[in-house]
Amino acid sequence: MQFALLIYESPEAFAARNSDETDAYLGAWRAYHKAIVEAGIFVGGNPLQAPETGTTVRMKEGKRRVQDGPFADAKEQLGGFTILELPSLDAALEWAARCPAASIGAVEVRPVSSQYLRRVTG
Partner 1 sequence: MNGSGQEDAHRTIERVARESYGRLVAYLSANTRDVASAEDALSNALVAALTAWPRDGVPQNPEAWLLTTARHSFIDLVRHRQVAEASEPTLKLLREDSTEMTLSAEFPDERLKLLFVCAHPAIDPAMHTPLMLQTVLGLDAVRIAHAFLISPTTMGQRLVRAKTKIRDGGIQFEIPLERELPQRLDAVLEAIYAAFGISWDDMAGVDQRGRDLAEEAIWLARVLLQLMPGEAEVRGLLALMLHCEARRAARRGPDGRYVPLSEQHSDHWSLPLIEEAERHLAEASSRGRAGRFQLAAAIQSVHAERARSGRTEWTAIVLFYEQLIRISPTLGTKTGYAAAVGEANGPEAGLAVLDGIDPDGVSAYQPYWAVSAHLLQRLGRTSEAAEAFDRAIGLAEDPAVRQFLLQRRG
**Helical segments of 1-122, H only:** 11-15, 24-38, 89-98, 100-104, 114-121
> How many chain residues bind partner 1 (CB under 8 A)?
23
What is the rounded CA–CA span in Å between residue 104 and residue 6? 14
Of the residues 47, 94, 108, 111, which one makes contact with partner 1 according to CB under 8 A:
94
Q: How far is the CB of 104 from partner 1 (least distance, A)?
A: 8
Query: Which x/- pattern over 31-60 shows residues binding partner 1 (rule: CB under 8 A)?
Result: xxxxxx-xxx--------------------
Q: Shortest CA distance to 80 belongs to which of 95, 97, 99? A: 99
Q: Does 27 bind partner 1 (CB under 8 A)?
A: yes
